[in-house]
C-alpha cells in the first residue's frame, strides 16, 4: 500500500451514514494526541496511512505501523499515542458489530456468532489497500448502493482471512453482580458528583476491593468509566440543537470548557467539530 505523505499539520475529518448500521468514518492525522483508557460500543476497523500508533490492548503494548490494519472490538479497553516523531495518520470505520455477524452468516449460509479476531494489528497489504480505497470512496461521495456493496465485499474478505475459529467471549452480561450494579448506578447518576462511599453502600464491598474488582472486570476504574459515559452521552446530544453549554451541564461537566477538554481527549476533535459532521456539514477541518 502506498504510504500517505505526512505533513506537520494535525487534522480530523469525521462524517456519518446513520441509516446504515450507524456507520461513522474518521480520517485523521495526530502529532501529539494521547487517548486515555476507553472502549467503544461499536466495532472499529481501519488502516494506518502513515507514521505509527502505539496502544494498550488486552493487556499488551501494540504498535500499528504504516500499512497495517487496525481494529478494536466493542467493549475492549484500549489507549492510543504516537509511536513515531511524525505521529500517525489513519482512516477508520466505526459500525455496529452486528454488521460483521450478518456478513459472517451470509458467508456460511447460516446464522453465525460474532466473528472473533485475536489480533488488533494485522499486516495484510491486499486487504489494507481495499479498506483504504473503500474509505476514500465514502469520502468522495459515491452512491450509497456502491458504498454498501463494496463495504460488504471488504468485510467478507477481512472475515475470511482473519476471523478466529473460536467463539468470542464477551464481557458484557458476564460481569460480577456488583460491577453490573455500579455500571447501572453510574449511568443513572451521570450528572452527579458520585462518591466512592455511595458505591460502597450500593454493593457492600470495601473501597479497595470495589475499585479492584471493577477495574479487573471493566478495564478501568469507576471514575474513568463515569467520564467515558459522560463523553459518550455528550456525543449523542450533539446531534440535537441544544447549546454546547447546556450539553455540558446535562452530562455532568462543570462547563463547556470542561466538556471540550475531555471530549477532545477521548475523540481527538472538539464537540463543535463533531456537531458539524452530524448535522450534515461533513469534512470540516479541526
Are 201 and 151 in a shared domain? no
pTM, two decimal places: 0.84
Are 224 and 122 in a shared domain? no
Distance CA 159, CA 230 (A): 33
Backbone dihedral angles phi then psi of residue 111, each to the nearest 5 degrees: -60, 135
Distance CA 39, CA 32 (A): 20
Q: Is 44 among the domain residues?
A: yes
Please answer whether residues 158 and 127 qualify as being in contact, where contact means their C-beta atoms are separated by less than 8 angstroms: yes
Reported as half-sphere exposure (CB side, CA atoms, 13 A), residue 89 has a value of 17
- CA quadruple 256, 26, 42, 209: dihedral positive or negative? negative
Are 40 and 142 in a shared domain? yes
Q: Is 286 among the domain residues?
A: no
Backbone dihedral angles phi then psi of residue 171, each to the nearest 5 degrees: -75, -40
Q: Which of 22-26, 151-155, 164-168, 186-190 has the lowest mean pLDDT?
A: 164-168
Are 103 and 243 in a shared domain? no
Q: Is 194 among the domain residues?
A: yes
Domain C-terminal end among 94, 129, 162: 162
pLDDT at 165 over 70: no
Q: Is 259 among the domain residues?
A: yes
Are 21 and 144 in a shared domain? yes
Q: Is 78 among the domain residues?
A: yes
Are 157 and 226 in a shared domain? no
Over residues 148-152, the mean pLDDT reads 87
Pairing of strands 69-72, 43-57: antiparallel
Reported as a pLDDT band with limits 50, 70 and 90, residue 16 is confident
* Domain boundaries, position 41: 11-162
Query: What is the percent of the chain with per-residue pLDDT over 70, rounded to a whole number?
Result: 90
From residue 239, give the alpha-carbon distance in Å to each of 95, 229, 233, 281, 283.
17, 16, 11, 12, 16
Are 219 and 152 in a shared domain? no
Q: Is 168 among the domain residues?
A: no
Over residues 253-259, the mean pLDDT reads 96
pLDDT given at position 5 = 56
Are 68 and 146 in a shared domain? yes
By three-state DSSP, how is residue 12 classified? strand
Over residues 94-122, the mean pLDDT reads 89
Q: Is 114 among the domain residues?
A: yes
Q: Is 265 among the domain residues?
A: yes
Domain C-terminal end among 135, 162, 189: 162
Over residues 106-111, the mean pLDDT reads 83
Provide the domain count of the chain. 2
Reported as a pLDDT band with limits 50, 70 and 90, residue 281 is very low
**Residue among 88, 13, 62, 73 at smallest CA distance from 39:** 73
What is the enclosing helix (H) or strand (E) of 155? helix 144-162
Backbone dihedral angles phi then psi of residue 261, each to the nearest 5 degrees: -65, -50
User: The domain spanning residue 226 has which CATH number?
Assistant: 1.10.10.60
Are 134 and 271 in a shared domain? no
pLDDT at 86 over 80: yes
pLDDT given at position 244 = 97
User: The domain spanning residue 24 has which CATH number?
Assistant: 2.60.120.10
Reported as a pLDDT band with limits 50, 70 and 90, residue 285 is very low
Q: Which of 57-66, 110-119, 170-179, 209-218 has the lowest mean pLDDT?
A: 170-179
Domain C-terminal end among 139, 162, 185: 162
Are 41 and 155 in a shared domain? yes
Cβ-proximal residues to 254 (8 Å cutoff; 6+ apart), any chain: 248
Are 68 and 94 in a shared domain? yes
From residue 9, give the alpha-carbon distance in Å to each of 93, 130, 262, 274.
22, 26, 21, 19
Over residues 164-176, the mean pLDDT reads 58
Backbone dihedral angles phi then psi of residue 139, each to the nearest 5 degrees: -70, -35
Are 61 and 125 in a shared domain? yes
pLDDT given at position 142 = 64
Q: Give the residues across from 43 on adjacent strands.
A: 95
pLDDT given at position 170 = 45
Amino acid at each position: 500500500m502506498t504510504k500517505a505523505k505526512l505533513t506537520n499539520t494535525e487534522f480530523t475529518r469525521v462524517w456519518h451514514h446513520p441509516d446504515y448500521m450507524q456507520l461513522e468514518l474518521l480520517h485523521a492525522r495526530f502529532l501529539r494526541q494521547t487517548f486515555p483508557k476507553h472502549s467503544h460500543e461499536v466495532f472499529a476497523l481501519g488502516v494506518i496511512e502513515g507514521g505509527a500508533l502505539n496502544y494498550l490492548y488486552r493487556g499488551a503494548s501494540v504498535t500499528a505501523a504504516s500499512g497495517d490494519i487496525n481494529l478494536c472490538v466493542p467493549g475492549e479497553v484500549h489507549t492510543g499515542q504516537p509511536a513515531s516523531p511524525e505521529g500517525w495518520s489513519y482512516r477508520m470505520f466505526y459500525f455496529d458489530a452486528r454488521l460483521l455477524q450478518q456478513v459472517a452468516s451470509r458467508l456460511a449460509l447460516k446464522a453465525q456468532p460474532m466473528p472473533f479476531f485475536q489480533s488488533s494489528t494485522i499486516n495484510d497489504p491486499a486487504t489494507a489497500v481495499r479498506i483504504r480505497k473503500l474509505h476514500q470512496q465514502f469520502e468522495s461521495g459515491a452512491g450509497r448502493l456502491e458504498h454498501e456493496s463494496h463495504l460488504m465485499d471488504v468485510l467478507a474478505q477481512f472475515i475470511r482471512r482473519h476471523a478466529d475459529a473460536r467463539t468470542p467471549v464477551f464481557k458484557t452480561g458476564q460481569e460480577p453482580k456488583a460491577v453490573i450494579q455500579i455500571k447501572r448506578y453510574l449511568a443513572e447518576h451521570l450528572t452527579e458528583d458520585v462518591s466512592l462511599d455511595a458505591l460502597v453502600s450500593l454493593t457492600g464491598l470495601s473501597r479497595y476491593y470495589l475499585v479492584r474488582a471493577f477495574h479487573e472486570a471493566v478495564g478501568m476504574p469507576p471514575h474513568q468509566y463515569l467520564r467515558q459515559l459522560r463523553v459518550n452521552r455528550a456525543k449523542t446530544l450533539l446531534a440535537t440543537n441544544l447549546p454546547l453549554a447546556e450539553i455540558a451541564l446535562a452530562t455532568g461537566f462543570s462547563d463547556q470548557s470542561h466538556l471540550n477538554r475531555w471530549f477532545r481527549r477521548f475523540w481527538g476533535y472538539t464537540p463543535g467539530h463533531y456537531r458539524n459532521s452530524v448535522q450534515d456539514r461533513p469534512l470540516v477541518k479541526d
